[in-house]
């Protein structure tokens, strides 16, 4: 169950926060003990669209309220088209689902998470001071935070976009949530979470802050966000939380058995490659690097146990297919990967040793 707050951060809070943040320490312990929710596997793959021109966006949203219980889905409190309720978490979730749907449909021509009009479900006020947000295979689930370290998770649009993008990955590349392929799974969600926020705000690559989870820390924490795509390892540096441990170069790749092989840690490496390529190209990131990454995600050529090198090669291939083999877009992507020490698989972007594209079932 991919969650926005990584277990290594919850571990740190549970072990070290007691004297300063007693509620947060207890909330982190409960979050770590909570068993994973059952996750439904994706059904047959629908036809996966590549990026298309602007199209109408017509989401179907349903927001439920767990009312402090860890029971899903909760009480339905807002349906598509209904007015704001005045409950901040309900209305932020509703708006965030709409912003995410809008990016995927208008920019990439994708009709919701599954590409076939899947309703967007969310549950807010999950649990007692629950310190996380997650996608469980069917819906977005948001905790309210403990109030000492974390605030409500609906307040960050990049968090909403991140978790819904896990659903897109489930229905496309199905990157296995372990090791390098798991770090790529997390990276893809960070990349599209950032794009959702940038698209909603009309920000270009230079103006964007490239932060994931900005605003979910309380003012008591010395930190800007959970992660920085542009500068991994700099998102927070706090006496209790410690220093952001994400590496930004492949030479510093973390080998660990924790967190499914370090999926949240090592996602910083492809995150930086993406952000560097976007900044080099300038303009709106969803118009170039975003389209390249989306094309790679739906190409059918990615392996479920994909490596960084294989994913890099596929992005070079899709960049060439969309913009041309000698295009500045492809060159920027190549330089992004080189800057983080990832060497694309030799010949892969020309089609060697890639699986044949998966056809729709």
Task: Give the active site residues.
Answer: 163, 264
Closest CA relative to residue 130, chosen from 225, 17, 60, 33: 33
Could you give the 3-state DSSP secondary structure of residue 97?
A: helix
Cβ–Cβ < 8 Å for 193, 165: yes
Angle, vertex CA 137, rays to CA 359 and CA 284, nearest 5: 70
What's 27-80 look like in SS3?
HHHHHHHCCCCCCCCCCCCCCCCCCCCCCCCCCCEEEEECCCCCCCCCEEEEEC
Cβ–Cβ < 8 Å for 25, 13: yes
Q: How far apart are the first and last CA of the chain?
A: 25
Q: Write b or e for each residue in 35-73: b if 16 or more Cβ atoms lie within 10 A of its Cβ, otherwise e.
A: eeeebeebeebbebbebeeeeebebebbbbbbeeeeeeb
Cβ–Cβ < 8 Å for 295, 170: no
């Amino acid at each position: 169950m991919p969650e926005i707050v990584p277990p290594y951060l919850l571990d740190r809070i549970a072990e070290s926060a007691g004297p300063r943040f007693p509620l947060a320490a207890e909330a982190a312990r409960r979050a770590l003990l909570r068993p994973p929710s059952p996750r439904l596997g994706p059904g047959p793959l629908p036809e996966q669209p590549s990026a298309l021109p602007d199209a109408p966006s017509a989401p179907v949203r349903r927001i439920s309220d767990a009312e402090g219980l860890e029971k899903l889905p909760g009480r339905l409190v807002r349906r598509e088209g209904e007015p704001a309720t005045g409950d901040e978490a309900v209305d932020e979730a509703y708006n965030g689902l709409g912003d995410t749907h809008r990016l995927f449909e208008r920019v990439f021509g994708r009709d919701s998470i599954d590409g076939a009009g899947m309703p967007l479900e969310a549950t807010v006020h999950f649990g007692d001071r629950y310190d996380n947000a997650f996608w469980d295979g069917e819906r977005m689930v948001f905790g309210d935070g403990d109030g000492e370290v974390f605030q409500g998770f609906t307040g960050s649009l990049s968090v909403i976009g991140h978790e819904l993008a896990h659903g897109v990955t489930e229905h496309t590349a199905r990157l296995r949530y372990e090791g390098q392929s798991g770090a790529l799974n997390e990276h893809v969600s960070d990349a599209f979470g950032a794009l959702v926020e940038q698209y909603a705000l009309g920000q270009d690559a230079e103006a964007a802050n490239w932060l994931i989870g900005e605003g979910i820390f309380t003012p008591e924490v010395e930190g800007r966000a959970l992660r920085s795509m542009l500068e991994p390892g700099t998102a927070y540096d706090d006496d209790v939380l410690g220093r952001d441990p994400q590496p930004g170069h492949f030479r510093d790749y973390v080998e660990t058995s924790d967190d499914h092989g370090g999926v949240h840690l090592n996602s910083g490496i492809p995150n930086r490659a993406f952000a560097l390529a976007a900044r080099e190209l300038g303009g709106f990131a969803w118009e170039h690097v975003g389209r390249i990454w989306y094309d790679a995600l739906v190409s059918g050529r990615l392996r479920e146990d994909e490596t960084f090198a294989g994913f890099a090669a596929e992005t070079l291939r899709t960049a060439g297919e969309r913009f041309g083999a000698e295009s500045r877009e492809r060159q920027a992507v190549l330089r992004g990967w080189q800057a983080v020490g990832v060497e694309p698989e030799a010949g892969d972007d020309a089609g060697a040793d890639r699986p044949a594209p998966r056809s729709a079932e």
